[in-house]
Amino acid sequence: MKISIQGYNINYKITGEGEQTLVILQGWGTKLEVYDSVAASVNHKYRVVQFDFPGFGGSDEPRESWGVDEFADFFTEFMKALGIKEATLLGHSFGGRIIIKLANRENLPFTIKNIIFVDAAGIRAKLTGKQKRKQRRYKILRKILLWKPIHAMFPELIDDWKSKQGSADYRNATPRMRECMVKSINEDLTDLLPGIKQEVLLIWGDNDTATPLSDAKKMEAMIPNNGLVVLSPAGHYSFLDQPAVFRNVMRSYLKAE
């Protein structure tokens, strides 16, 4: 289904007809279909909303460079458009960043009943000495190679080098979404964690390398009211790596057995 929000055509779907609502906020660069198994775990008791953020899946791309706050603003308008007054929010990876922001805002037009973080982002990792040196080398090399006279001499080689830099998510993104990604991941939300007043369930893969288990431990220590469930063996998509266990955890927590 499509809905127009702020002039953007937004892809979404709703399954289940329960009295309570669960809204899934996706990870960076994913499509809403990735979370079908998550929705299926509880949509016999819950109304589950899946959607693609602007620039993701089947939704229009942002017209400007967005950071976490702009994505949170959009989500607020999305909830208004669907008439949702209260919901449990589940955030995977990037979706977790947006929920952290929302949970610290006052006067939201909807109530966040409780929160489920699945391999959520929001804590900016400190660079090691090796990573810092690599970053400095990249910046120096990039400045040299993109100098017009040099680029004019070897345009194809340099463009090929550029296309191989950064993470897979970064390389696969459009120029506008790359801007959004850099703007979002450079913001450390650690200081906002104590401001989350809702009950939080943390579900994490023990082998997650994108948002490591140490992030979950830090969230566990800083969020006032929470519980942590570690799935093993599982990575950044713990709900896909351990679907049966994940389903049981969701149904137990949301009382949807």
The model's pLDDT over 62-113, given as tens digits with 9 standing for 90+, comes to 999 999 999 999 999 999 999 999 999 999 999 999 999 999 999 999 999 9
Residue given tokens 């194809």 in the structure block: 156
Task: Give me the mean pLDDT over the 24-44 stretch.
Answer: 97
Task: Give me the mean pLDDT over the 40-44 stretch.
Answer: 97
Comparison of pLDDT for 169 and 223, the residue scoring more = 223
What is the pTM assigned to this prediction? Answer: 0.87
Instruction: Give pLDDT, residue 161.
Output: 52
The model's pLDDT over 196-229, given as tens digits with 9 standing for 90+, comes to 999 999 999 999 999 999 999 999 999 999 999 9
Q: Is 18 helix (H, G, I), strand (E, B) or coil?
A: coil
Instruction: Give pLDDT, residue 169.
Output: 62
* Dihedral sign from CA coordinates of 111, 199, 102, 105: positive
| Domains contained in the chain, CATH given | 2-124+187-253 (3.40.50.1820), 129-176 (no CATH)
CA distances from 109 to 28, 151, 192, 209 (A): 25, 51, 20, 35
The answer to whether residue 158 scores a pLDDT higher than 60 is no
Tell me phi and psi for residue 230, to 5 degrees: -105, 125
Looking at residue 2, its amino acid is K
